[in-house]
Structure 1
Amino acid sequence: MIRPNMERPTMKRREFLATTTALGALTLVTPGRLLAETPVAGGTLVWGHSETTQNLDMHQTGTASTSRVLQNIHNALVTVNSDMEVVPQLAESYEVSDDGLEYTFRLRAGVMFHDGSTLTSEDVKYSFERCADPETGATNFEVFNDVAGIETPDELTVIVRMTRPNAPFLARLAENGAGVVMPAGSGDIQGTTPVGAGPFRFIRREFGNEVVLERFDDYWDGPAHLERIIAREITEPTVRLTGLRTGELHMINDIPAERVAEVEGDASLQVLTWFPLNFDFLNFNHDLELFQDARVRRAFDLMIDKEMLLQGALWGQGETTASASFPNDAARNTDITQRGQDIAAARALLSEAGHPPGSLNVVFKVTTNYPYHVESAQIIAEWAREAGVNMTIEQLTWADWLSQVWVDRDFQMTMMNFFTIWEPDRLYFSLWHSTGGFNYRNINVPEIDALAEEARGTIDADARNALYRRIQDMVSEEALDVILWFRNGSIGARSEVAGLDTLVHPNGSNLNFHKVWLRS
């Protein structure tokens, strides 16, 4: 395989682990089985999924909760290995021209889709063009902004031609959504009946209740061990934990933060933890005149004691951070720091902006899908009251939050998390570029747009990282959002679940059940 003739834009996982000391990654506490075991085929694993799946179209979905399920249905052209290096998946190999303007992918022969069709270059062309088409509404459409055309000289060869060098292009194809390959013409059914080339095929979904997947025996990388997965959608943490302990569930993700230590001490259960799972931030709607004033945004930032909020809402299961970049990403700006709490300064800034104490009423919308967001909002509301702001909290279901905040952008303030976006282009272009697929806050800063676009065409890694650090500095200085913390990931499982060490994708968010199995 010929590697790209350019510097790789991301750090290696081993470097990340060597310098991340909060928890380390993939810490597995398991009751007594340390010897190698031979996997057993069969069985149905019942997973207590902490969130509710939404649109099942991998191109259109913007939620990590849905992606965790879909990653087992779909494969992409390329992926990343445990060192965060881009490697082939549905492609057998790839080549990049010396000038960075041509990508040639050689596909694996004989790869089967769940509908019985065989993967060809036309499927790749269809998938990429569908993702790039504004009419599709894909969250990762901008990955293809620099693509001039896609050619299919034969059934197993795809050539992507670029209008200019695009340093993060391969890494973006390895992330959620953009590089996924669907059968040509299947777009209309993907939202309700997803069809892919992954280790499990979709059987059914009861919205708000469960998703059922079944082993795909013709999977190109060998069939999975499990016969079936039932993802039960249980957003209440205590109910999930009770189901695990009673045996109703084989595993759960997101152990209640205040009970992680308790579960680790239970000899009948296994606990998998890693850092980080996601970052959380406070959001303002920049379309509103109120939040177009940087003084107002900084005032809300100054109201928050970030460490106290972390302890109160997450029970210390994470670390505060001023940057959304991975803890050891070379693009991380280590010079920026979080604003300390200063209620008096917040009151003064609001008064200066024309909002004396008691005159400002703000609605803070949060989703019950993340109980710790509700707790965070309640704590922040008390600090806001001290600063002279009347804050009302509206608790929304996940579907209502997505509809009101994500789609309609009908909000004043909100809080959200994004799951370990390790690739800096996806992070900074998607979230802070004015046309970014994740820019639901209506942020429009021409200088950030220019920096994000310049970074895409900058092949030199040091120069590119310097551009991303400037974006981080602007986000922090202008309080475009308030970055709060990185949260730890956790999974609890019963003793009969094996292969847990293979479950978490290198990106820290996705769950891959291909090598997981049940002992009995």
Structure 2
Amino acid sequence: MPDDPTHRLPQPDARPLPGLRRRGFLAATGAASLGAFALTGCGGTGDAGGADDPGGTPKRGGRLRAAFSGGGASETLDPHKANLFADVARAKALFDKLADYGADLSAQPRLAAKWEPNPTLDRWRVTLRKATFHDGRPVTADDVLYSYRRIADPRRTFRAKASLEPIDLAASRATGDRGIEFVLKRPTAEFPNVLAAFGAYVVPRHATEFDHHPVGSGPFRFVSFAPGRSAVFRRHDGYWDGAPHLDEIEFLVAGEESARVNALLGGQVEYAHELDPTTARAHEGQGRIDIVRLRNSAMQAFCMKTDRPPFDDRRVREAFFLIADRTELVDGALSGAGVVGNDLFGKGYEYYATDLPQRAPDLDRARALLKQAGAEKLTVTLDTSAVAAGFTEAASIFRDQAAKAGVTLDVKMGSKDSYWSDVLNNGTLCCYRSGAMPIEAHLSQRLLSASTTNATRWQHEDFDALYQQAQSTRAKQDRAALFGRMQRRLYAEGGFLVWGFADWIIGTARRVRGVDRQAPANTLDWARFDKVWLA
């Protein structure tokens, strides 16, 4: 189980998969022996100026081949099951949502042309834009309601189910072909975040099968799919947001990062997802490939359980905030591919509290706080695992930092398979990370008394009341002030020691244009190919 099964950076299977073994990628001249790598309408990979050069007017045509980690033979094109990075990239090529997250994690209209709440914020009217599915049928309110009810089916486990919980789907109704009235269980000022929820894709009503010939309303149409190997999609000329520049997009699966890199260097793919910082440093500015860094994509933190010793004492938590040398952690655990954190989630996102001073190490103050708390020679177990990049390195670095304040951290390695479920309720201190999501969603899913993924065990009725007040507040400026109050409280005494935000790194061929360089992973413009072209 991941840190948050509903909103996370998906954790890909790192094993090489049958049919696309690493050696197949390593042969720069071996593309012809791998049917999945056959070029369609693409020229050579000469230097065309790189991704930083906009390249003038977009050029139409060609097939772009994109390499992702995958999930093997169990992969599916069912968008409501999309979990791994490859799943999500394929889903957003074939399907659409009512809204999606912009670079600052605010909800941006997609299939929904507009939305408007009633005065009490417990009913929202959504108007659909004119859009069609790949078979020519219009996207209607009935399709949306069918999709949401499918996701919410108690017999199924779909990614967006928890996010749609505020909607009373039995009471919600179509008000016309392109009108929907969503009835909510409680006031929800940030309801557009629900429409943008990860996995909340709209499918045709009554659709139940997706792996043989799925029909969506996205920018590309289905051509073929071989789970664990490749998927080919073709341009949807009737796409409401403008037909893609590419003729086709092919998603290829390669478990090992080295396989993706060598395929890119060998001209067998034009886009390689999820590269290591060391790879980025080796190739950045060298002229062979372009490196794209998606900033603020993943929060990196230590999670302190606030309901048990020693972290039930606010002074101990504050001491740990002051022990952490965030710059050293970013340089060591992330190889410099990130920025320092300030003990709050969502740097650069909508509602982030930018007015708080940047925390810096203060070992003298940390020792004094520990002495006041009667914890001068404190020993704490720090749970970590190789489940996520940088976890073991961060644990080792923080252990050495803590020793300077007289704290002994006993680093305990956990299972990759069960780490997230093990640390959710157990232990006292652990390594933690999270992908991009709205700050409001982070607060509601992880920091309310009833939150099911409350890893810090932060439970305060007055904090819960502030969240409900914010969701009942119509004016955005006033709502922002309430979210600011909540963040100031967490900054002072919360259980997340947020030491950094990692870059998400992508490599592209020099001839690739239009890849967004501002969107964190998990947002609309990440792994989006309808605006990309080949120069």
Please say whether Structure 1 and Structure 2 have the same fold, judged by a TM-score greater than 0.5.
yes
The equivalent position to 1:450 in structure 2, one of 465, 472, 476, is 465
Which residue number corresponds to residue 328 of structure 2? 308
Aligned pair in 2 of structure 1 residues 327, 50: CA closer, same or farther (>3 Å)?
farther
Alignment of 1:37-436 (within 5 A): 37-41=58-62, 43-49=63-69, 67-79=88-100, 87-97=108-118, 100-108=121-129, 111-112=132-133, 119-131=139-151, 138=159, 141-142=162-163, 144-145=165-166, 147=168, 149-162=171-184, 165-178=187-200, 180-184=201-205, 196-200=216-220, 201=222, 203-206=225-228, 212-215=231-234, 217=236, 220-221=239-240, 224=244, 225-234=246-255, 236=257, 240-286=260-306, 289-322=309-342, 323-327=344-348, 329-338=350-359, 340-342=361-363, 346=366, 357=377, 360-370=379-389, 372-386=390-404, 387-394=406-413, 396-397=415-416, 399-402=417-420, 404-405=422-423, 409-421=425-437, 423-436=438-451
Q: Check the 8 A contact 1:91/1:107 in 2, yes or no.
A: yes
The equivalent position to 1:469 in structure 2, one of 484, 487, 499, is 484
Query: Residues 218-238 of structure 1, C-alpha deviation per residue, up to 9 Å, x if partnerless?
Result: 7633654253422434454x5
Aligned pair in 2 of structure 1 residues 474, 438: CA closer, same or farther (>3 Å)?
same
> Unaligned stretches of 5+ in structure 2?
1-48
* Aligned AA (1:382): D
User: Which piece of structure 1 moves more, 496-505 or 375-384?
Assistant: 496-505
Q: Check the 8 A contact 2:143/2:203 in 1, yes or no.
A: yes
Aligned pair in 2 of structure 1 residues 377, 81: CA closer, same or farther (>3 Å)?
closer
The equivalent position to 2:502 in structure 1, one of 467, 487, 494, is 487
Aligned pair in 2 of structure 1 residues 262, 31: CA closer, same or farther (>3 Å)?
farther
User: Which piece of structure 1 moves more, 318-327 or 344-353?
Assistant: 344-353
Query: Residues 478-503 of structure 1, C-alpha deviation per residue, up to 9 Å, x if partnerless?
Result: 23111112333432211243332489
* Aligned AA (1:419): G
* Aligned AA (2:399): A
Query: Residues 363-415 of structure 1, C-alpha deviation per residue, up to 9 Å, x if partnerless?
Result: 42234442x23321221122344434242242654x54445446xx4554333
Sequence identity, in percent?
A: 21
TM-score computed with the length of structure 1 as normaliser? 0.75
Aligned residues: 477
* Aligned AA (1:459): R
Q: Check the 8 A contact 2:64/2:271 in 1, yes or no.
A: no
What's the CA shift for 1:45?
Answer: 0.3
- Structure 2 Cα separation of the partners of residues 355 and 211 of structure 1: 56
Aligned pair in 2 of structure 1 residues 120, 30: CA closer, same or farther (>3 Å)?
closer
> Unaligned stretches of 5+ in structure 1?
1-27
- Structure 1 Cα separation of the partners of residues 460 and 93 of structure 2: 37
- Structure 2 Cα separation of the partners of residues 486 and 204 of structure 1: 35
What's the CA shift for 1:75?
Answer: 0.9
- Structure 2 Cα separation of the partners of residues 453 and 441 of structure 1: 20
What's the CA shift for 1:362?
Answer: 0.8
SS in 2 for 1:463: helix
Q: Check the 8 A contact 1:50/1:253 in 2, yes or no.
A: no
Query: Residues 401-448 of structure 1, C-alpha deviation per residue, up to 9 Å, x if partnerless?
Result: 445446xx4554333333333x33223222322334653444322222
- Structure 2 Cα separation of the partners of residues 360 and 35 of structure 1: 60
TM-score computed with the length of structure 2 as normaliser? 0.73
User: Which piece of structure 1 moves more, 386-395 or 375-384?
Assistant: 386-395
Query: Residues 200-222 of structure 1, C-alpha deviation per residue, up to 9 Å, x if partnerless?
Result: 4482433xxx5635336476336
- Structure 1 Cα separation of the partners of residues 52 and 517 of structure 2: 17
Aligned pair in 2 of structure 1 residues 164, 340: CA closer, same or farther (>3 Å)?
same
User: Which piece of structure 1 moves more, 472-481 or 197-206?
Assistant: 197-206
- Structure 2 Cα separation of the partners of residues 498 and 50 of structure 1: 25
Aligned pair in 2 of structure 1 residues 492, 470: CA closer, same or farther (>3 Å)?
same
Aligned pair in 2 of structure 1 residues 142, 497: CA closer, same or farther (>3 Å)?
closer
* Alignment RMSD: 4.2
What's the CA shift for 1:160?
Answer: 1.4
Aligned pair in 2 of structure 1 residues 430, 108: CA closer, same or farther (>3 Å)?
same
What's the CA shift for 1:337?
Answer: 3.7
